[in-house]
A and B are shown apart, each in its own frame.
Chain A
Amino acid sequence: MSVYEDEPGKRVLMLGNEAIARGAVEAGIQLGAAYPGTPSSEIMPFIAEAAKELGFHAEWSTNEVVAFEVAAGAAVVGGRALFACKGAGLNVVMDMLMTLPYTGVRGGFVIVVADDPGAWYSSNEQDSRFAGLWAELPVLEPWDQQSAKDMTRDAFALSEMLELPVMVRSCTRLSHASGDVTLGEIRRKRNEIVFDKHWKIPYRWNVYGPPGPIEKHRWQKEQMKKARDYVEGTSFNMYHEAEKGSRLGVATSGMASNYVQEALNRLGKRDGVHLLILGVPYPLPEKMVQSYLDKVDTVLCVEEGEALIERQLHQHVNRLGKTVKVLGRLSDGVMPVVDELDPDKVASVLARFLDIEPPPSGEDSVREELSEMVCARSSSWCAGCPHIGSFWALKRALPADKVNIINTGIGCYEMSGYGIAAAPIDAKDTDESKRWRAVTPYEMTDTLYVMGSETGLSQGQYHVGYRDGEIVSILGDSSFFHTNLAPITNAVYNKAEQLILVLDNLWTCMTGHQPNPSTGMNIQGEDTYVPSIEGICRALGVQYVETVDPYNLKETIDAIKVALGHEGGPSVVVSRRVCALQRSRELHSQRAKAPLYVVNENCTGCRMCLWLGCPAIGFDESRNNAAGGKGAAFIDPLLCVGCGLCAQEEVCRFHAHDKVGEGEF
């Protein structure tokens, strides 16, 4: 099944992100742009597949705001365009998101944002529907793969009707779940690409152009009034009447609506409440809401995220002078206030609301006892990951007697802050003992927020006078182009001393191996120019720039030490080695074999190689070791890729790791 398959009526299993892409294809999309961000990452590759076949442009842009502006440019000249990002990605776009609606768009412009309640892949749980409210744009919220496809398709026409961008809000449980979808027709007609400087309004595409931003803002508000008719009539807003006598209501949307319907079934209350499912959570349909509020005395709002519908219902209750009680996240003790919803949480909330016995929970004393047995399985880097070498070298190069600060950004290297075996910090600990508690490479990162924050944070720490240790910024190749050029320029301009460690593994890996400028390839697999990270840093004025191979620990340690001694501004070390998974795939496609490593009889059981944090290395307590005791390391031959890090003098001084086989990884 391909995303552009022309078989209307066919039923297929589709990933949520694929369904969103299909919706765009059915609408006759003419341009797609995105920056990878899980859980939205698969949308653009699916669109790119169609782009190749149907002949339009799709791209990975260098960051979200660039992607947004590329898509907006297409919509300004009349094309149908889609921009996709994760919740955090939308924050990068805010400047343009708040301003574009003043001029609106000519071609349909659909903003797909995939939020991540539960923070599975994100540093926050933000509810991006509020960005729609803030920017005064309609927000559609699908609940399954079919509605994701249909809403994305219809959002283009809605956008053209309102002449405003339209937001489609997905979340992890939709984007990364699959369901059966019935395919629709693919629109073959393409919008004409045309530029009309004064289209309907003077100086249409220039917010400052007469009559200026205030009048353009007024225009936008008038356009949003047209959305009112749409929300009253759309079949995405649904109402299910309760059995006679019930004055209870539940208002819900998106993924939460699934949990509500299942919970009502399980509780035997399918018709127990007046159910309002709002496919368009902003703006609410006023007439529909008014007749709904006539039927209920109490409404429980169940939303995946924050209280968007709930706040609007409060507003409508006030406006209409009603006494309906609105419950939800804003009421104490009604809903969980953080984390994603799930069928169990919603069932227990509804049982309380309906004053009936909740379904049995997953917990009891036997389960509590048995859960002690389950072994933790923390996230770790892949076997042979170049980051393992970079962090080992960094740890060895930093002064052990100082309180160094490692500021890290977003990418696989952020796992250096996830913690495995992190010893609990005791109140009695001294600064000295706390420092030594970081035992694995997974406890090295000290600050971690968002992409690009690392280099700026370092500068503030330096300028305010932090001198108790070294200050380090860690970023990847994709992050370098995403949001680090301005902070590095700033570090040079304002003479901030810090080590900037660029871990260039040639791919955007954590989101699933998308290409970026460092890869030398675009989303369609075409060769592209590879900008020089070192050259850019030198051009910006960085005086010390060195390139190392993280598989060579000595070289990497030495270069970092020299860089740390650099004064008068930032120093840059580029640690470059292709992602181990990509290298394995390359070898596999060439049918080439990599060597592997085994632990020999020299192993003393010191466990030093285990502290690399490589998942291929384990410890066998029963094996005799060279120190005359029990316990020796072993290497899983199925996981080892043959990077050779564990065999280097800087890890094992007992020469206890032997290479088996020819060639290099």
Chain B
Amino acid sequence: MHTTRSGRESSRMAAKMNLKEFNLIVAGVGGQGSVLASHIVAEAAVKKGFRVRVGETFGAAQRGGKVHSHVRIGDDIHGPLCPSRSLDVLLGLEPNETLRLALKYANEETLIITNTRPVPSMDANIGADTYPDVSQLIEALKRLTGNVVPFDATELAVEAGNERTMNVVLLGALAASGRLPLGAEFLREAVLSSVPPRTVQVNEAAFNLGHDQL
């Protein structure tokens, strides 16, 4: 009978850093880059020697469906899914999706960093449901936790030079929050090394604009 598990080596290294469990969810809509954002964080954490799991949940739609990606780092984690109310950070790329995930996974201590720019759903478009007022969404988030950082990340991405860098704007804010078990500079390097070479400049600008929000 054996008790050894694979991945021991990484566990030991993580234990040295005294990290038991860090839970992050990146929530958004298909096509916004939430999976990429979560993988950048996860890859960086592997480089630091941590034990890492990433779980992705998305519907059948290729585009426009709800997507959330769980990133878990630390010695005590096994599976790819965060338990409810266990989040250290919720990174929201779309405010309605931020609230959807916050309801299940946030607790009073959770830091919620969210884009305030809505992406209407098909259900809202055809009048089957109503898209909530953004200010009400933010108020709802504030009833769940005292740590809510809302801003228009899409606007900042446009300012940086490309609307599609919105996910990187939010990663900049995440780095500045100090909650991640990785240094801000380490995450910046991870972002810049994983984007196409010709977009490094615009992504760096996006990262910095996000970083300045906290």
**CB pair B39 A415 closer than 8 Å:** no
- A-B complex: 4 closest residue pairs judged by Cβ atoms: A362-B84, A421-B128, A258-B79, A177-B80
Bound Cα distance from A12 to B60, whole angstroms: 28
Taking CB atoms, residues of chain B closer than 8 Å to A344 are 83-84
**CB pair B54 A179 closer than 8 Å:** yes
Query: Count of B residues near A, CB < 8 Å?
Result: 67
List the A residue with the shortest CB-CB distance to B98.
A374
**CB pair A182 B9 closer than 8 Å:** yes
Taking CB atoms, residues of chain A closer than 8 Å to B36 are none
Taking CB atoms, residues of chain A closer than 8 Å to B50 are 180
**CB pair A377 B9 closer than 8 Å:** no
Bound Cα distance from A44 to B9, whole angstroms: 29
Interface residues of B in 106-149 (CB under 8 A from A): 120-132, 136-137, 140, 143-144
Interface residues of B in 17-63 (CB under 8 A from A): 29, 39, 42-43, 46, 49-57, 59-63
Bound Cα distance from A638 to B162, whole angstroms: 12
Binding site for A on B (CB under 8 A): 1-7, 9-10, 29, 39, 42-43, 46, 49-57, 59-66, 76-85, 96-97, 99-100, 103-105, 120-132, 136-137, 140, 143-144, 163
**CB pair B121 A376 closer than 8 Å:** yes
Bound Cα distance from A11 to B42, whole angstroms: 12
**CB pair B60 A415 closer than 8 Å:** yes
Taking CB atoms, residues of chain A closer than 8 Å to B39 are 13, 178
**CB pair A619 B99 closer than 8 Å:** no
Minimum C-beta distance from A147 to chain B (A): 5
**CB pair A378 B54 closer than 8 Å:** no
Is A58 at the interface (CB under 8 A from chain B)? no
Interface string of A614-625 (1 = CB under 8 A from B): 010111000000
Minimum C-beta distance from B190 to chain A (A): 11
Is A259 at the interface (CB under 8 A from chain B)? yes
Taking CB atoms, residues of chain A closer than 8 Å to B132 are 373-375
Bound Cα distance from A120 to B68, whole angstroms: 14
Chain A binding surface, main DSSP class: mixed
**CB pair A258 B137 closer than 8 Å:** no
**CB pair B3 A374 closer than 8 Å:** no
Taking CB atoms, residues of chain A closer than 8 Å to B4 are 235, 238
**CB pair A375 B55 closer than 8 Å:** no
Taking CB atoms, residues of chain B closer than 8 Å to A343 are 79, 81-84
**CB pair B125 A239 closer than 8 Å:** no
Interface residues of A in 613-665 (CB under 8 A from B): 613, 615, 617-619, 638-639
Interface residues of A in 599-615 (CB under 8 A from B): 607, 610-611, 613, 615
**CB pair B137 A581 closer than 8 Å:** no
Taking CB atoms, residues of chain B closer than 8 Å to A377 are 29, 64-66, 96-97, 121-123
Knowing A144-B53, A343-B79, A362-B84, the reply to whether A374 touches B7 (Cβ < 8 A) is: no
